[in-house]
Amino acid sequence: MTEVQEILAEKFLQLNKNKSGILDWSPFYSSNSMLPKDLNSTEKQKLLNFIKGTLIERGLIEPVNASGTITRLTEKGYAFTSFADERKKKEKKEQEDAERLRLQDEKLKYDVRNVRRIYKTYWYIVFMSVFSFIYSVIKILLSQL
C-alpha cells in the first residue's frame, strides 16, 4: 500500500471505531468525500475496493452482509494503531531475526572449532590410555614375579 492508501485505510478504521465497529461503505462509493479529489469515479471505486479488500485480507475488518457493503471491526482491528507502527514492529522483528541468525552462525563457528580441537586431542588421549594400560599390565606382571 502507498502512504496515501495507508492514511485512507487508517481513517476508515478510525471511522469504524467511532461508529461502534460497524461501517456502511455504500455512502463512500457515492460521495467520495474522504478520497482524493484528483481521481475520477472509477479510480475512486477501485481505490475503495482495494482499501476494503486489504483491510479484510489483513483481518482488521470482516464483511457483515453478503454484498460486503457493511463491515465490522475485528478484535485485531480494534487493537490496530497505524500502519507505521506495524511496519516498525515488522522491521524490529526482522532485525531481531537477523541478529539471532548472526549469533547462531557465530555459535556454530565456535562449535566447529571446538570439535576440531577435540578431534585433534582425541588420538592423543587414546594413545595415553593404551600406553597407561600396557604400563599397568607390565607393572602388575613384574610385581608378581
Nine cell digits for residue 29? 462509493
What is the CATH code for 3-79? Answer: 1.10.10
Give the type of residue at 124.
Y
pLDDT at 31 exceeding the cut of 70: no
What's the pLDDT tens digit per position in 76-135? 888 888 888 888 999 999 999 999 999 999 999 999 999 998 888 888 889 999 999 999
Mean pLDDT value across the chain: 86
What are the boundaries of each domain within the chain? Answer: 3-79, 96-145
Q: State the virtual CA torsion across 64, 68, 80, 88 in degrees, nearest 10.
A: 150
